[in-house]
Amino acid sequence: MVRLLVRVRNAVRWATVLFLLGSVLAVLAYRWIPVYVTPLMLIRCGQQMARGEKVRLRHHWVDMDTGMSPDMALAVVASEDQKFMTHHGFDFDAISMAMEERRRGERFRGASTISQQTAKNVFLWPGGGWVRKGLEAYFTVLVELMWSKHRIMEVYLNSIETGDGVYGADAVAWRNFGRGADRLTRANCALIAATLPAPLRFDSQNPSPYMLRRQTQIMRQMKNLGPIEW
């Protein structure tokens, strides 16, 4: 029994070391390498096949400086994470408000930053649970330490789910607006950003009255924030 426990302990120790080393190397590699596929893309493809549907996956990686309108980054900051340029991965004020709303039994807001969403999109799977949340926090710290804010935003805008089988700003720009992400207008960018909380429910191609109101609010916030200084 003692020998078995020692073996289990050693196995756990080596598994932990390999995970830590592998995760650091993966985050470091993605500092330069484009992210062409994510766990969510594979999961969605699996779900489509399980339902007997044709696999749908539209994704075009583009350089943020030359392949996207600067308004795209500004729109998601205005909509998703206005402290993006100043926080270190976590918005503790937003987390506190979300916890208080949950305690009161209210419909609580999301508190995930763009850095957290990027870590989840690239390295993890969707859903909740303490294990997933713990890993998300771990990868968020690595991403903030090893990537610039510019790189975090570039990966985020290229990997986010933007529709049914559609991922990234360029793919949704071509599908819904018939142009690349570099030619999106400010209104287009705000409308795409408005879909991000629920991209399978909201559609920037056929916006509902609620979506149009959100678009107006986001554009107002974009004007107040001004251009992002990288």
Question: What would the pLDDT profile of 57-112 be if each residue is shown by its tens digit?
Answer: 999 999 999 999 999 999 999 999 999 999 999 888 766 676 666 666 655 556 69
CA distances from 97 to 4, 81, 102, 214 (A): 47, 14, 9, 21
Q: Which residue, among 153, 156, 193, has the nearest Cα to 173 in the 3D structure?
A: 193
**81 close to 114: Cβ distance less than 8 angstroms:** yes
pTM for this entry: 0.91
The 10s digit of each residue's pLDDT in 165-189 is 999 999 999 999 999 999 999 999 9
Please tell me whether residue 29 adopts helix, strand or coil conformation.
helix
Enter the DSSP assignment of 38: -
pLDDT score for 214: 97
What phi-psi label fits residue 151: left (phi over 0), alpha (psi between -120 and 50 degrees) or beta? alpha
